Amino acid sequence: MNEIVLASANKKKIAELHELLEGFKVLSLKDIGFEQEIEEPFFTFHENAFQKANTIHQFCGKNVLADDSGICVSALGDKPGVLSARYAGEGANDQSNLDKVLQELEGQSNRRAYYKAVLCLIWKGEAHYFEGECHGTLIENPIGDNGFGYDPIFVPDGYSQTFAQLPATVKQQISHRAQAMQQLVAFVQQSL
């Protein structure tokens, strides 16, 4: 069975990716003994995803999958973008980031946003990229307990519920990460 190391410490993101990587032996950073913090100093999803994947690949020599993703809000000039996980500053958490976006959107009629995911897969020593986007609208009051990040305020186009309300099975079909993962799985299956 092919092994892939997930270059993430985010437990909810790992769980989501793990479900999408059916048929692979998925290893965590803990499984390979990697305990350092990986810096994400860049301003693009591609560069940050590569930084994470390459750091782990250099450490263990295995196939590695890294994800850099975030939400881009039209009225905020596509912010928070790559800063989504730390938008409210150092020590930010999901709630403080979400609160900051809602505060900045107060009084705005344009509440369009999209989630973007860039996956970097280092497969047999070479980097490959896969992207996905999911467009929708941000509501004013968070609803739902599933998901993470900005999911409680993001309603994807064509749905009336937030990502935090939708069943995981639906999110795994329509999300930005699911779209990128479908491309990745197709690529890996072709290269076996």
Which of the residues are catalytic? 68
Q: What is the 3-state secondary structure (H, E, C) of 47-104?
A: HHHHHHHHHHHHHHCCCEEEEEEEEEEHHHCCEEHHHHHHCCCCCCCHHHHHHHHHHH
Q: How far apart are the first and last CA of the chain?
A: 11
Reference 179, options 139, 147, 140, 134; nearest CA is: 134
DSSP state of 39: P
